[in-house]
């Protein structure tokens, strides 16, 4: 069973699930709402390792021993799940559920794109300032980033002035593969190094083209818009998720 | 130059500050109680981080700081902000200052004790337990479940149980008693973590880089930290660890990215060593004040780059 975990409205994940199914993978689509409505959780760990069983509201059983891989696009636990909790307990309950999902995801066997972290269920959500440092260390050209206690948000100084969506391209790193994106020398290797440094196996890297040529790092995401990668990214995902 | 961040009177921060003075190491205190008077900004240009901290009429280049010790409390709970509406100028400035400080700490080349990202492992105890188990330390048999029958079955297999939060919130350990069994159906509302009750000697291990301070705790309470609240007592004394176990603790903290950690062990009568959790922001003052172990001194030396340790 190849789990595809996502929010109910994550069109990119639903598209990827269909594409993986077309490529012969035994896809089991499970949404965050499905998990929130699970009627039974059993998550064990100890001397024998880990084992889990989640019984969903529709009767499906997610037995960890049957999981061969996971495309994980979960972002958060649904807030509606805790609507009935008293206000004083709601934040605590939300932390409890997040902590369980984090541990459960981490325990699942097989390749996972992406593995959960405490900073994000589908990979580490990093601040723009961290990406700016990591991207520069990976060899990508980066814009200057500024942050001050006098303003609510940090600022990225985009090259050539205003951000023009027409000049933005996305490279996808899937394991060691780099799919789509600018063909300029060094970009693919820089994106690969960035994924390694950020410990993010599936990473979308947005770059912006200068008016005079060349590309600059703009932002990166562990849950990129996969549809921009077309068949090539589906092939890469299938290969990575089939790996032993 | 060392930057200390938090509430100056809080014991761990105060003790590290005292040790810095003893070492004659220059330091600056960024008091959360005086957030309104502080300004901070930084810039990342081609991967290099620069910036300034304005405090008490002085301007400190952030590149001057070689070490940072953070003991930040939730800034929303600062007494100075009590009663102020959300979105007030003071609350907004405080939030932005703390956000800027936290973000800078994550990318600063200084020795930061500890950065926010590695501290995250402690927010899910079963997640952290899986990381701990990789280091050859035994973790208690555990089940997180919303199924009352699974709890009964687990109890039948492992005997006496304790229960505690899955996350780092409301983290108090309690033994599962008959009265709890009577309300076991409640777990259907929210999964709960149950563990086998491991009997033995509690040992708190503080690691700072490669330095190790072990404290044995004698207590009849299930959770010795709250022994007094439950009418019990806890006696603390310095102890020595087996060198291999000591190294395992150092390796565990390093693998979690923690320059400073408080590791909770329990040693059973037959010598098995269980690890319950790794605290990423240990309130070491409780242990140092009972034993005299020079933990604050080790933290201060680490911040100054004087420790015999690695370079986290």
pLDDT of residue B227: 67
pLDDT of residue A237: 98
Under the phi-then-psi rule, with left for phi > 0, alpha for psi from -120 to 50, and beta for the rest, what region is A7?
A: beta
Q: Does residue B125 sit at the A interface (CB-CB below 8 Å)?
A: yes
pLDDT > 70 fraction of chain B, expressed in percent and rounded: 95
The per-residue pLDDT for range B119-159, each reduced to its tens digit, is 999 999 999 999 999 988 999 999 999 999 999 999 999 99
Each residue's pLDDT, cut to its tens digit, for chain B (312 residues) gives 999 999 999 999 999 999 999 999 999 999 999 999 999 999 999 999 999 999 989 999 999 999 999 999 998 889 988 888 878 999 999 999 999 999 999 999 999 999 999 999 999 999 999 999 998 899 999 999 999 999 999 999 999 999 999 998 877 899 999 888 889 998 998 899 999 999 999 999 999 999 999 999 987 776 776 666 666 778 999 999 999 999 999 999 999 999 999 999 999 999 999 999 999 999 999 999 999 999 999 999 999 999 654 433
> Quick check: B167 and A99 CB within 8 A?
yes
Task: Find the angle CA(A18)-CA(A24)-CA(A28) to the nearest 5 degrees.
Answer: 55
Report the alpha-carbon distance of residue A36 to residue A28 in Å, rounded. 16
pLDDT of residue B308: 59
Q: Are the beta carbons of A13 and A6 closer than 8 angstroms?
A: yes
Closest Cα in chain B, distance from residue A125 (Å): 10
Residue of chain B with shortest Cα separation from A127? B103
The per-residue pLDDT for range B56-94, each reduced to its tens digit, is 899 999 999 999 999 999 988 899 888 888 789 999 999
The per-residue pLDDT for range A85-101, each reduced to its tens digit, is 787 788 888 999 999 99
B136 vs A contacts (CB less than 8 Å):
none
pLDDT > 90 fraction of chain B, expressed in percent and rounded: 81
Q: Are the beta carbons of B175 and B223 closer than 8 angstroms?
A: no
DSSP letter, residue A184: -
Q: Are the beta carbons of A233 and A174 closer than 8 angstroms?
A: yes
Q: Which of A39, A96, A150 sits opposite B167 (nearest CB)?
A: A96
* pTM recorded for the entire structure: 0.93
Report the alpha-carbon distance of residue A36 to residue B299 in Å, rounded. 43
Q: Map tokens 């693998």 to a residue.
A: B255
Cβ contacts below 8 Å, chain A against chain B, sum to: 164
Q: End-to-end alpha-carbon separation of chain A, Å?
A: 13
pLDDT of residue A72: 98
Tokens of A103: 């541990």
Q: Which of A47, A130, A144 sits opposite B107 (nearest CB)?
A: A130
Closest Cα in chain A, distance from residue B144 (Å): 5
The total number of residues shown for chain A amounts to 244
B30 vs A contacts (CB less than 8 Å):
none
* ipTM for this prediction: 0.93
Sheet holding A27-31, edge to edge: A27-31, A2-6, A69-72, A112-113
pLDDT of residue A123: 94
pLDDT of residue A30: 98
Dihedral pair phi/psi, residue B78, rounded to 5°: -65, 135
Secondary structure class of B123 (helix, strand, coil): helix
pLDDT > 70 fraction of chain A, expressed in percent and rounded: 96
- Of A181, A183, A163, A190, the C-alpha closest to A224 is A181
Task: Find the angle CA(A219)-CA(A228)-CA(A108) to the nearest 5 degrees.
Answer: 75
Which of B39, B43, B77, B276 best tests the A interface by mutation, with the highest count of A CBs <10 A? B43
pLDDT of residue A207: 95
- The rounded Cα A65 to chain-centroid distance in angstroms is 23
B169 vs A contacts (CB less than 8 Å):
91-92, 95-96
Report the alpha-carbon distance of residue B276 to residue B281 in Å, rounded. 15
pLDDT of residue B310: 40
pLDDT of residue B312: 39
Residues paired with B163 in a beta bridge: B174, B194
Largest CA distance in chain A: 60
Residues paired with A55 in a beta bridge: A40, A61
Tokens of B249: 């603790």
> Quick check: B126 and A45 CB within 8 A?
yes
Buried b (16+ CB within 10 A) or exposed e, B217-244: bebebbbbbebeeeeeebebeebebeee
Largest CA distance in chain B: 65
pLDDT > 90 fraction of chain A, expressed in percent and rounded: 78
CA atoms within 13 A on the CB side of A89: 11
pLDDT of residue A159: 64
The per-residue pLDDT for range A96-150, each reduced to its tens digit, is 999 999 999 999 999 999 999 999 999 999 999 999 999 999 999 999 999 999 9
A133 vs B contacts (CB less than 8 Å):
44, 47, 49, 107
The per-residue pLDDT for range A42-65, each reduced to its tens digit, is 999 999 999 999 999 999 999 999
The per-residue pLDDT for range A4-47, each reduced to its tens digit, is 999 999 999 999 999 999 999 999 999 999 999 999 999 999 99
Q: Are the beta carbons of B14 and B283 closer than 8 angstroms?
A: no
Residue A155 reports pLDDT greater than 90: no
pLDDT of residue A82: 74
pLDDT of residue A162: 62
Q: Does residue B106 sit at the A interface (CB-CB below 8 Å)?
A: yes
Output the DSSP codes for B201-252.
EEEEEEEETTEEEEEEEEESSSSGGGTTTTT--EEEEEE---HHHHHHHHHH
Q: Does residue A67 sit at the B interface (CB-CB below 8 Å)?
A: no
- Of A21, A20, A63, A220, the C-alpha closest to A138 is A220
């Amino acid at each position: 069973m190849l789990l595809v975990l996502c929010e109910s409205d994550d069109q990119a994940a639903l598209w990827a699930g269909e594409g993986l199914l077309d490529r012969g993978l035994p896809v089991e689509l499970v949404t965050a709402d499905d998990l929130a409505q699970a009627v039974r959780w059993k998550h064990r760990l100890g001397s024998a390792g880990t084992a889990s069983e989640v019984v969903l509201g529709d009767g499906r059983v997610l037995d960890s021993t049957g999981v061969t891989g996971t495309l994980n696009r979960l972002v958060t636990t649904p807030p509606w799940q805790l609507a009935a909790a008293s206000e004083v307990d709601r934040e605590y309950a939300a932390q409890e559920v997040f902590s369980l999902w984090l541990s459960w995801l981490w325990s699942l066997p097989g390749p996972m794109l992406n593995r959960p972290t405490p900073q994000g269920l589908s990979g580490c959500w990093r601040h723009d300032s961290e990406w700016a440092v990591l991207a520069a260390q990976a060899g990508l050209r980066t814009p200057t980033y500024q942050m001050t206690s006098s303003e609510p948000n940090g600022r990225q100084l985009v090259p050539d002035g205003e951000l023009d969506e027409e000049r933005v391209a996305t490279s996808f790193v899937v394991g060691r593969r780099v799919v789509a994106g600018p063909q300029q020398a060094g970009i693919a290797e820089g994106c690969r190094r960035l994924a390694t440094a950020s410990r993010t196996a599936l990473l979308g890297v947005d770059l912006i083209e200068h008016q005079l040529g060349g590309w600059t790092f703009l932002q990166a995401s562990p849950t990129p818009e996969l549809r921009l990668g077309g068949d090539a990214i589906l092939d890469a995902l299938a290969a990575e998720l089939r790996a032993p | 130059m060392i930057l200390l961040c938090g509430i100056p009177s809080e014991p761990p921060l105060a003790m590290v500050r005292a040790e810095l003075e003893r070492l004659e190491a220059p330091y600056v205190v960024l008091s959360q109680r005086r957030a309104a008077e502080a300004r901070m900004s930084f810039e990342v240009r081609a991967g290099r981080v620069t910036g300034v901290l304005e405090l008490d009429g002085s301007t400190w280049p952030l590149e001057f700081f070689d070490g940072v010790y953070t003991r930040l409390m939730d800034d929303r709970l600062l007494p100075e902000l009590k009663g102020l509406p959300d979105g007030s100028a003071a609350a907004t400035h405080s939030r932005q200052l703390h956000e800027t400080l936290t973000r800078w700490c994550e990318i600063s080349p200084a020795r930061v004790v500890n950065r926010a990202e590695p501290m995250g492992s402690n927010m899910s105890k079963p997640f952290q337990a899986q990381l701990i188990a990789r280091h050859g330390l035994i973790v208690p048999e555990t089940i997180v479940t919303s199924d009352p029958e699974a709890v009964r079955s687990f109890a039948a297999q492992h005997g006496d149980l304790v229960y505690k939060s899955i996350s780092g919130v409301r983290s108090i350990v309690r033994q599962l008693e008959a009265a709890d069994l009577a309300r076991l159906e409640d777990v259907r509302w929210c999964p709960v973590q149950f563990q086998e009750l491991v009997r033995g000697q509690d040992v708190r291990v503080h690691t700072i880089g490669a330095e190790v301070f072990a404290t044995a705790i004698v207590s009849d309470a299930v959770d010795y930290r709250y022994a007094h609240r439950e009418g019990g007592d806890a006696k603390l004394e310095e102890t020595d660890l087996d060198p291999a176990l000591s190294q395992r603790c150092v390796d565990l903290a390093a693998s979690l990215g923690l320059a400073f950690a408080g590791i909770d062990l329990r040693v059973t009568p037959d010598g098995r060593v269980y690890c319950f959790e790794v605290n990423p922001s240990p309130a070491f003052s409780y242990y140092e004040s009972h034993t005299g172990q020079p933990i604050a001194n080790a933290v201060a030396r680490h911040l100054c780059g004087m420790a015999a340790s690695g370079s986290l």
